[in-house]
Amino acid sequence: MRFIKKRNQYENSTKTLTINLAEMTSYSYNWFSMLLEIDGKVFINSYKYSNTTAKHTATLRFMLQKHGIPFQEIDAPNGLTESQLPNICKYLTDEIESLKKKNSSPRARGDAKKYREWDIKRYNKQLYVLSSVLTDQYLEKILQDEMHNALESA
């Protein structure tokens, strides 16, 4: 990664990853948000959208560690932005429920069941970490969206 002084950011050689540590932003392919800071806590998007974004996540992880910046990882399939936080929480809870349902099946076996249990723990940890920064405003928005969806489907 090279530092572009003019833009105050790091870029990879193909310019598909940018990291601005001053503004705490990072983008894969100029649209997939990978870094977010809320109330002094830093989050990186660990969702594996593709092999390339997985590599971008590894590079971002390395850069943050190199600069001594502590961070938490969150799976955010539509990008990691403040406006996406309610959707991220919904995604994580839906994934947990789906994995629990698969594990409760009589056909659930051995290693697959164990890996699902690990994913459930990982998603629960991510929800816990997010809950530490979610304000009542975000929680209220989640509830409003859920109520709105329930009314629409009725």
- Contact criterion met (CB below 8 Å) for 86 and 141: yes
Structure letter (DSSP) for residue 69: -
Which pLDDT band holds residue 138 (cuts at 50, 70, 90)?
A: low
Q: Is the pLDDT of residue 154 over 60?
A: no
| pLDDT on residue 30 | 85
Q: Is the pLDDT of residue 147 over 80?
A: no
Give per-residue pLDDT as tens, 95-123: 999 999 999 998 888 899 999 999 999 99
Structure tokens at 136: 């009542």
From the list 17, 18, 127, the residue with the least C-alpha distance to 72 is 127
Grade residue 150 by pLDDT with cuts at 50, 70 and 90.
low
The pLDDT tens digits of the residues spanning 24-56 come to 999 998 888 899 998 889 999 999 888 988 899
H/E stretch holding 96 reads helix 85-104
pTM: 0.79
Identify which has the larger pLDDT, 57 or 8: 57
Length of the chain: 154
d(CA 63, CA 56): 10
Identify the band that residue 7 occupies on the pLDDT scale cut at 50, 70 and 90. confident
- φ/ψ of residue 44, rounded to 5: -120, 150
Sheet holding 72-74, edge to edge: 35-38, 41-45, 72-74
Rg value, the chain, Cα: 18
Q: How confident is the model at residue 92 (pLDDT cuts 50, 70, 90)?
A: very high
